[in-house]
Structures are given as C-alpha cells and as structure tokens.
Amino acid sequence: MRDETPQISTSSVGGGKLDPPVHSASVLSPPVPSLPPIHSKILTTPLSRIPALKPAHMMEVPTTQTTRLSNGLTITSQEHYSPLCTFGIIADVGSRYEIPGTNDGVSHLMELMAFKSTNKWNHQQLVQKIDDLGGMVTCNSSREQFLFCADVLRDGMEATMEIMR
C-alpha cells in the first residue's frame, strides 16, 4: 500500500534563506499573495457619543420596568449599559387575525412594506435618517404579533421614536 500523505520539501533559494515548507499538494495551486501588515492607530481620545466604560462591579444589575399608560399602551424598558439602544413597537396583529379568503397574507405584505415610506418621508429619506443616527431597522411578523424595531446609538433615541411614530 502506498503512503498518500503529502510530502514536505524545503528549498534554499534567495541568498541561502529557507523558504517555508511547501506541501506537494499545494504545488499545483496558484501562489497566494501575502497581505500587507495591518497598521492601526490606537484611539487616545474618548468619543463623545460613547459613554466611558465602567467595571461590571460598579454597575447595577439591570431590571426590567413595565409601565401601562392610561391609553392602554404598555412600555417595557431595561438599562443594559450599552452605547446602543433598541426601540420596538409590538402589536398583537399577527396572521392568525387574517380572514381566510379575504385578506390572506396581509401580515406578510405589511412586513415587506415596513419602512418604505411614511406620511413625512419617502424611502430614501427614511433610510438616510436612520443611517444618520447610526442605526438599522427591522420588521418581523408572526402568527401572534407584529414587530417594528430600530437599533440606534443612545443619543438618537428620541429622533428614532419620532421617525417610527
């Protein structure tokens, strides 16, 4: 039985220096160009939009707070000590409320149309506003609920709420 393991060879080309070992199987492959080293600068000044880091023992354990407004709207919030925040609107209007033969698939259609335009902004303006806030938006529908969600930097929360209003 013949040994099928690739053979390793070295050569002394280029002033007596040894090249790295080459597997005989890779001889048929084209050479891979070497990448230049990454030179990154160290950030020495804090960024104004990102809060200073604190050790975990100096922070309170996050708690979830739920508030019901007089109009029936429920607001749930939780501090998570991140420079990002998430704002979402959840409505109990999933596909189970569709009437067969009348409005089949309307939940999925609404999901696809989410964030395409509002009464104030067209799609391009809406995308630009969210992008300017350093954020992204998502939409998800399920059988039970519908979710509109935006992740943005903390200082963009009020503007995001206005956009999603």
Predicted confidence (pLDDT) per residue in 56-112, tens digit: 788 888 888 888 889 888 888 887 778 888 888 888 888 998 999 898 889 889 888
Domain ranges of the chain: 65-164
Strand partners, 9: 22
Catalytic residues: 111
Residue 141 has pLDDT above 50, yes or no: yes
pTM, full prediction? 0.57
What CATH number does the domain located at 65-164 have? 3.30.830.10
Give which of 72, 89, 104 is closest to 164, Cα–Cα: 89
Give the whole-angstrom CA distance, residue 157 versus residue 85.
7
Choose between 114 and 47: higher pLDDT: 114
